[in-house]
Amino acid sequence: MAEAEAKVQETKDASGNLVQYAADGGIALLTLNAPPANTYSHEMMQELDRAILAARMDESVHVIVITGSGEKFFCAGADISMLQSVTPTFKYYFCLHANETLSRLEQTPKLVIAAINGHCVGGGLEVAMAADLRVARKGAGKMGLPEVSLGVLPGTGGTQRLVRMVGKSRAIELMTTGELFDFERGAELGLVNHIYEAETGAAFMEQVLDYARQFTLPNKATHAVGRIKRAVQTGAEIPFESALALEREQLARRHQLDGARLADEAREPLRAARAGQHP
Separation of alpha carbons 73 and 211, rounded Å: 21
Task: Check residue 252 and give its pLDDT.
Answer: 86
Query: Which residue of the set 59, 147, 237, 268 is catalytic?
Result: 147
Task: Check residue 274 and give its pLDDT.
Answer: 67
- The neighbour count for residue 80, using CB atoms within 10 Å, is 13
Mark the ranges of the chain whose per-residue pLDDT is less than 50. 1-12, 262-263, 265-266, 278-279
Peptide linkage before 218 cis (omega within 30 of 0): yes
Task: Check residue 253 and give its pLDDT.
Answer: 78
* Beta strands at 111-116 and 119-121: parallel, antiparallel or unpaired: unpaired
Query: Which residue of the set 5, 71, 126, 268 is catalytic?
Result: 126
Beta bridge partners of 64: 28, 112
At residue 117, φ and ψ (nearest 5 deg) are -95, 0
Separation of alpha carbons 278 and 227, rounded Å: 37
Separation of alpha carbons 94 and 98, rounded Å: 6
Which one-letter DSSP state was computed for residue 1? -
Q: Catalytic annotation on 126?
A: yes
Task: Check residue 257 and give its pLDDT.
Answer: 61
